[in-house]
Amino acid sequence: MNSTARKYKVKTMHFLKKSGVKIGDFFKEHYKAILVLALVNIAFFFPMITKLASYTPGGDALFNAWTITRVQGCILGDSCHNVLDGGIFLGHENTLTWSESQLSTAVLFLPLRLFTDNPVLINNIATITMTFLIGFSMYLLAMYLSGGKKWISIISGLIFSYAPFRLSAVWHLQNLSIFALPLAVLAIFKYKDTKKKRYLLFLLLVMVYEVYASWYQMAFTLLATLVITIALLCYKKINWKSFALILGVIVIAFISVLPLARVYLKESKKNNSGYTLDEKVMYSSALEDYILPSSESISGTLFYRAVHCKVNKCDAYNGYNKDTSSYHGAITVFAAISIFFVINRKLNKKKKKELSDKKVAELKVMSRIFVILAVIGFVASLGPFLKLQKTYVYELVSSGTIYTVPLPYILVEILMPSVSFIRAIGRAGVVVLLALSMLIALMPYALEAYTNKTRKSLVAVFLILLVFDVMPYKAISVRKGPDNVFKIPEAHKVIKKDKDIDNIVVISSKDKNPQDSNLVRKQMALIGYHGKHLYNGHSAFIPKGYREQMLDFYDLNKEDLSQMRKLGIKYVLLDKVNSYANTLATLKKYNLPVVHEDNEYLLVKL
């Protein structure tokens, strides 16, 4: 070994040793929070823990299993034209961009491919892990805001991770990427205090992760970080140089995603989703969404059984926002408002000696910034017409009317029509949840205005009401239908092993919705396993004539086989379980070369 190699080895060992010490110190400081959040997470997902490789709730969970594992497969050398080749809708390009591509999330969980290529297992592990990360990232931010008070930081993490708003869309993996938002805010605050460049680098990393994970969450992260940064400047907590550097980092993160955005814009304009404005605004939040409790909490269960549904005979719980519940908890909102008023009205008069005038002034500024952020997030979540209940501040007449839609909504609609950003604008409620969680983190300072006995009483009441009103009182429900069982069929193992098998159409003649069923989503998820191309598919955009063509294929006449060849299809995979007997008989009469047959599938070459 020469001297250069020895020096490199010594430096490497020193770096690893130093890194090990830092990781060990980090765990020692935060192990209580890690254990609490991990145990709550395991308890919540416990019904599926023993079925991680075989259980799926269907719908978006299967869709996301396809998204991230297809990207991983492309990175690892599957038959992809490029990393945006989704392997669906044979003959169409960049199909991964027809919805959230989740590139960074796929990369984050790429190491799992060392142990498994089961797409459902990878998606389930990602879902559980990211739910934990949402709570832990908020805990770290709350530790900064609370001055290192672990108990309130853990509570803030639990609220941000398990509030009804979050759990109403727990299977939407793209929403879980929001764990980057508290980390981005923490980086901004840390840089404000220390001016150390490493926090700008950390901000850049988490922002780049978010912009490549989800367009929606990217927009909400941009909104929150910009509001906080501008507010810090307005309150003179940072100077123009610091403001420019933070803003520059955010801009660089967005520049980094331009290559993906260009493809997205191109495909978006070419493949308009076709949602009318009436359909899009259905998914904005309503004022009532923030007031009606969640049916998953104890208070919500009692409310719907005893009061609301008896009077209104309702079937939907917190259902004005069709996309997700926007309920963050009455006790969360009340506690946050109380903390704000105590800090701004009572703390000066009754503060302890430990709190300097400078600290009190800083707390006032921070609490005001968080309230501003909450108000902006709330208004944004109501959508362009400001939905209050089932009515709007701005009149909505009919789909055929040309509306004047306020900025920035109209820009998104013009530039990226298939994104249908208005349709999911109710998810902006996460900005409100962030602001509330940050205000809750300031509770220890607000309690300084009270005696020790009063403090203990207030904390006890808060915790009891929090569990009663916000926290889920039961674990996830595991469905037991055929759509919820996933396995890798032998036919797909054959497809994976044979490099020549590609360009496949799957026939399930009992499936009347081949553009939007769990059957097609399962076939898509299996693309993440074998890495081949299907004619089948489902996404935010469905190619014109796809459904009609698939239904026409079901009778498998000679014209259908000829049309398949014209479309570039080389193999037919007949799903025996989900097809009629005459479909199988028709396919067999052509004496096409059989590649594989078992009780579930027949794979033939055209």
Q: How many CA atoms lie less than 13 Å away from 374 in the CB half-sphere? A: 22
Residue 203: exposure state from Cβ atoms within 10 A (0-12, 13-18, ≥19): buried
pLDDT given for residue 341 in this prediction: 93
Domain check: are 140 and 109 in the same one? no
Position 554 in a domain: yes
Domain check: are 333 and 460 in the same one? yes
Position 135 in a domain: yes
**Tens-place pLDDT, residues 64-120:** 999 999 999 999 988 888 999 999 999 999 999 988 889 999 999 999 999 999 999
Give the pLDDT mean for 411-419.
60
Residue 411: exposure state from Cβ atoms within 10 A (0-12, 13-18, ≥19): exposed
Alpha helices in 50-118 (DSSP H): 60-75, 103-108
Q: Please measure the distance between the N-terminal and C-terminal CA atoms of the chain and give it in whole angstroms.
A: 60
Total of domains in the chain: 2
pLDDT given for residue 316 in this prediction: 46
Give the pLDDT mean for 579-583.
93
pLDDT of residue 354 exceeding 70? no
Could you give the CA distance from residue 227 to residue 373 in angstroms, rounded to a whole number?
A: 7
Q: Give me the domain span that covers residue 88.
A: 51-117+488-606
Confidence category of residue 356, pLDDT binned at 50, 70, 90? confident
Domain check: are 297 and 380 in the same one? yes
Could you give the CA distance from residue 125 to residue 409 in angstroms, rounded to a whole number?
A: 35
**Tens-place pLDDT, residues 258-275:** 999 899 888 877 776 656
Who contacts 401 (Cβ-Cβ below 8 Å, separation ≥6)?
A: none
Question: Degrees (nearest 5) of the Cα angle 573, 576, 580?
Answer: 115
pLDDT of residue 402 exceeding 60? no
404 or 86, higher pLDDT: 86
**Lowest mean pLDDT, pick from 193-197, 363-367, 381-385, 406-410:** 406-410
Give the pLDDT mean for 233-241.
97
Smallest CA-to-CA distance from 88 within 454, 588, 532, 593 is with: 532
Position 2 in a domain: no
Position 593 in a domain: yes
Give the pLDDT mean for 381-406.
62
Domain check: are 80 and 139 in the same one? no
Domain check: are 341 and 428 in the same one? yes
pLDDT of residue 200 exceeding 70? yes
Q: Are 399 and 281 in contact (CB under 8 A)?
A: no
Position 16 in a domain: no
Domain check: are 441 and 534 in the same one? no
- The mean of the pLDDT values for the chain is 87
**Lowest mean pLDDT, pick from 122-126, 296-300, 459-463:** 296-300
Domain check: are 105 and 132 in the same one? no
Domain check: are 340 and 386 in the same one? yes
Q: List for the chain the helix, strand, coil content (%; round to 5).
A: 65, 5, 35
Domain check: are 365 and 255 in the same one? yes
**Tens-place pLDDT, residues 203-212:** 999 999 999 9
Of the chain, the percentage scoring pLDDT greater than 70 comes to: 84
Position 4 in a domain: no
Confidence category of residue 526, pLDDT binned at 50, 70, 90? very high
Confidence category of residue 327, pLDDT binned at 50, 70, 90? confident
Domain check: are 71 and 184 in the same one? no
The model scores a pTM over 0.95: no
pLDDT given for residue 4 in this prediction: 61
Position 446 in a domain: yes
Under DSSP, the state recorded for 293 is P
Confidence category of residue 320, pLDDT binned at 50, 70, 90? very low
Domain check: are 562 and 517 in the same one? yes
Domain check: are 170 and 86 in the same one? no
Could you give the CA distance from residue 523 to residue 508 in angstroms, rounded to a whole number?
A: 11
Position 13 in a domain: no
